[in-house]
């Protein structure tokens, strides 16, 4: 069951541990105190995530909120974002288990890629000229295009064997293991890593106690004085 943000949680705090934008987007759902929590509660949360993911700059995020924040288009974009996130989660889960991405997921990625709108400008620099490309969403659904681009990049250029689910069985976060030895196991060492180490230590101590034979009492006899 999905829950609202836990009490005390503030907007704008998202786990950016995926090493790919599309996996960070999947991770806007997480487990908190045993409950599944959706961090995208409204359109404002979606815009906050896009800003934290460096899709939108601060000024652009404010502009997007003013334009679509309290409109049916914004609500529709949020619903579409959640549906796309579900497809990406299913894709990541399938890849972890050796399955190919579904046609439905690929069709959605392609549909978003076809809808992208960018501004291209030639600008003068100290070394000459360069082409600058800026993301300009003309509809709120276009906000998902950079996430689709990330998914496309991961599928085309990434090593799919390095897509990993956190090894805490109670965690649902995914990441791309970019460590040198590809030995990363946890979404975060300070969260799941420490929790699992503490749990493993407790289990080892418990098994050791169970294996230890119970001490037998020694009867002592005293001789009475003659």
User: What domains, with CATH codes, occur in the chain?
Assistant: 2-183 (1.10.3300.10)
Q: What is the structure's pLDDT at 208? A: 52
182-205 confidence digits (pLDDT tens): 989 889 877 685 554 544 434 455
204-216 confidence digits (pLDDT tens): 555 555 666 655 5
Q: Tokens for 163, please give them.
A: 């897509």
Between the alpha carbon of residue 44 and those of residues 25, 50, 127, 175, the distances in Å are 15, 10, 40, 25
Q: Residue 120, SS3?
A: strand
155-170 confidence digits (pLDDT tens): 999 999 999 999 999 8
Higher pLDDT, 224 or 84: 84
Contact 129, 122 (CB under 8 A): yes
Positive or negative, the Cα torsion across 71, 86, 179, 149? negative
What count of other Cβ atoms lies within 10 Å of the Cβ of residue 127?
Answer: 6
Please give the torsion angle defined by the CA atoms of residues 139, 141, 142 and 147, in that order, rounded to the nearest 10 degrees: 160
127-160 confidence digits (pLDDT tens): 899 988 778 889 999 999 999 999 999 999 999 9
């Amino acid at each position: 069951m999905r829950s609202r943000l836990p009490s005390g949680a503030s907007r704008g705090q998202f786990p950016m541990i995926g090493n790919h934008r599309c996996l960070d987007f999947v991770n806007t759902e997480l487990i908190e105190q045993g409950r599944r929590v959706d961090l995208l509660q409204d359109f404002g949360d979606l815009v906050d995530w896009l800003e934290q993911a460096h899709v939108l700059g601060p000024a652009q995020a404010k502009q997007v909120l003013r334009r679509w924040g309290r409109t049916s288009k914004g609500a529709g974009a949020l619903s579409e974002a959640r549906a796309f996130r579900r497809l990406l989660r299913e894709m990541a889960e399938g890849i972890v288990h050796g399955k190919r991405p579904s046609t439905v997921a690929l069709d959605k990625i392609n549909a978003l890629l076809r809808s992208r709108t960018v501004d291209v400008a030639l600008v003068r620099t100290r070394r000459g000229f360069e082409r600058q490309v800026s993301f300009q969403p003309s509809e709120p659904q276009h906000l998902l295009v950079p996430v689709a681009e990330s998914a496309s990049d991961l599928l085309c250029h990434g090593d799919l064997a390095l897509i990993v689910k956190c090894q805490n069985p109670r965690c649902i976060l995914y990441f791309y293991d970019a460590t040198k030895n590809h030995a990363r196991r946890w979404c975060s060492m300070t969260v799941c890593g420490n929790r699992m180490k503490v749990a493993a230590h407790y289990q080892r101590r418990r098994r050791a106690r169970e294996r230890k034979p119970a001490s037998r009492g020694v009867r002592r006899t005293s001789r009475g004085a003659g």
